Amino acid sequence: MVKIHERKFVSADPEKCTGCQVCEYVCAMEKEGVFNPLKSRIRVVRLNQLINVSVTCRLCENPACVAACPRDALTQSEETGIILVDEDKCNGCGWCIEACDYGAITLHPESKVVFLCDLCQDKGKPQCVEWCPEEALDFVTSDVLAQKARIEAVKKLFQEALKATEST
């Protein structure tokens, strides 16, 4: 069983993401055999004209989506943390979609069953990460992501301190 801090998930760097949607197309092709971003398990969200970020499942420790499902159609793999969907139980009610803090669950446009990232388990590594032309996607643990955030915060503080000393 993989501990929560050891679980890897796809993380996006909004400073690198250009909104090209290659990740969406690669995912849809890998999982559905079509170049249709509506069938992708990763979504590019445009926060404004210049800031884009890709969103996918974060493998929460106590996933709200699983708890919200009234039909017990969602379960979390104890081994990988991946959220599994029992398509026979899912009726597309959308409670899990509402419960997800990350907006990582969507309703399949044809089957009307929810679907989300399985980290391309059959490939060994998420294909969206492999194919991202800007290297904006990373396959990381929450500990690594937190460390990257701390490093960026320190860099910004250092730059601000330099500006303050130069202006005096």
> Residue 164 domain-assigned?
no
∠ CA(40), CA(126), CA(15), 5° rounding? 80
> Residue 18 domain-assigned?
yes
Q: What is the pLDDT of residues 47-106, one digit of tens each?
A: 888 888 999 999 998 999 999 999 999 999 988 899 999 999 999 999 999 999 999 999
> Residue 158 domain-assigned?
no
pLDDT at 3: 67
Q: What percentage of the chain has pLDDT greater than the value 70? A: 96
Handedness of CA 50, 55, 60, 62 (dihedral sign): positive
What is the pLDDT averaged over residues 148-158?
84
> Residue 19 domain-assigned?
yes
> Residue 72 domain-assigned?
yes
Average pLDDT, the chain: 92
| Higher pLDDT among residues 141 and 145, named by residue | 141
Looking up tokens 């599994």, which residue turns up? 84
> Residue 47 domain-assigned?
yes
Other C-beta atoms within 10 Å of 79: how many? 8
Q: Tell me: pLDDT of 22 over 90.
A: yes
Domain around 116: 4-141
Q: Tell me: pLDDT of 168 over 90.
A: no
> Residue 80 domain-assigned?
yes
As for how many domains the chain has, the answer is 1
* Distant-in-sequence, close-in-space partners of 26: CB < 8 Å, separation ≥ 6: 127, 128, 130, 131
Kindly report the CATH number assigned to the domain that includes residue 63.
Answer: 3.30.70.20
Burial 48-63 (b: 16+ CB within 10 A, else e): eeeebbbbbbbbbeeb
pLDDT at 2: 58
> Residue 88 domain-assigned?
yes
Q: Spell out where 66-108 has E strands.
A: 74-76, 83-85, 106-107
Neighbouring-strand partners of residue 75: 84
160 — pLDDT class (breaks 50, 70, 90): confident
